[in-house]
Amino acid sequence: MITGLGLVTPLGLGVESNWQALLAGRSAISRITRFDPERFPTRIAGEIKNFDVQQFIDRKEARKMDLFVQYAIVAAELAVQDSGIDTALLQGERTGVYVGSGIGGIGSIEETHRVLLEKGPDRVSPFFIIQTIINEAPGHISIRYRASGPNLANATACSTGAHAIGEAFRMIKLGVADRMIAGGAEAPITPLSLAGFCNMKALSERNDEPEKASRPFDARRDGFVMSEGAGIVLLEELESALKRGARIYAEVLGYGLNSDAYHVTAPSPDGDGAARVMRMALQDGGVNPEEVQYINAHGTSTQYNDKTETLAIKKVFGEGAKKVGVSSTKSMTGHLLGAAGGLETAITALAIFHQVMPPTINYEFPDPECDLDYVPNTARPAEIIHALTNSFGFGGTNACLLLKKFE
């Protein structure tokens, strides 16, 4: 059961600010302010503005952490607060933490390398290693709550957050834990990271209209928009959640993971891996395709991803594909890379809880190869009993989660 949501995104902090922005179809994309992007072909991103870490973490301690770790801790705290759980219940080996990141502490790596070159090795911070390694995110969270159960940091590119939640779901299903704090965090908006993605030709260059740059499934899409933040959920075993009278956003019912086994960046052109991973999640949850009303798509706004994801959905749902609402909330948030799956699982849970499909904004020019119902531009009230959320990553890694309305 998903009983707590922690969202740190360019749309805002917490459930309410994010959900209202999504319903309003508001874009969080703007010109980069963290450094001067003028020399880059892409000069836009989804930055988190006015992030005050001292509301959650002591300033002295925060200086020892990369920004992605800070985002993870704050998102975990927001999820715990949102759940209303007594933190005493989180202590001990029946609570675990699975939080990953696609890139990890790249900002600290860049800055420390500059210090090394300019000032010498003796000026490198003794905290450098623990600032940058990905497992410091779940490590700090487990220490914060004295959660001594299963602890894992995965790095599976843009599938990271969804994989973390899927594996956490398995820990509860296997009886290893009663509660899991799970999701992803990312802070990739740095010169080196931006240059790398630019030179891969992966990013939108719609610099003059940043709010329209992320346009999944639209015929004039020209790449994804990089964003930052964290999406973390609190999962609880049903009996534990009911015992404390928890609000249940949705039930995690099924999980699939696999590989395209095709290419290091491009998805399989026949959509095979994406189709198989959706079928795995459905089979794991014992649900037929015709019982699904909504899909929160990976929907990156790149030519290949959107086309192949559409093809994969058609393979799984057949003639019923056009009856399913399919939206990409990356049209508003941008792409949070390793945090995307965590955020989008939370958004899917909110869609089920409120019975509203969030929109795909910037959908203006239909693409003949992308011809499903993408909930264009306006949120839509709808009955949602079952929903899928897709996450696909470089290296061909795929994840899919099946969520259900709790009854």
Task: Tell me, rounded to whole angstroms, the distance of Cα 203 from its chain centroid.
Answer: 18
For residue 231, what is the enclosing H or E element?
Answer: strand 229-236
Report the helix count and the strand count for the chain, using DSSP H and E.
13, 15
- Backbone phi, then psi, for 237, in 5-degree steps? -65, 145
- In DSSP terms, which residues pair with 182 in a beta bridge? 98, 233
Rounded to 10°, the helix 106-119/191-199 angle is: 110
Contacts of 110-115 with C-beta under 8 Å, sequence gap 24+, read 110/190, 110/191, 110/192
CA gap 343, 60 in Å, rounded: 28
Nearest-5° angle of CA 203, CA 310, CA 31? 20
Scored b (16 or more CB within 10 A) or e, 319-355 reads eebeebbbbbbbbbbbbbbbbbbbbbbbbbbbbbbee
Q: Pull the structure tokens for residue 265.
A: 């960046």
Q: How far apart are CA 115 and CA 121, in angstroms?
A: 8
Q: Judge whether 158 counts as a catalytic residue.
A: yes
| Identity at 22, one-letter amino acid code | L
User: Which stretch of DSSP H or E encloses residue 229?
Assistant: strand 229-236
Please tell me which residue in 158, 198, 370, 400 is annotated as part of the active site. 158
Question: What's the token pair of residue 207?
Answer: 């610099």
Which residues form the catalytic set?
A: 158
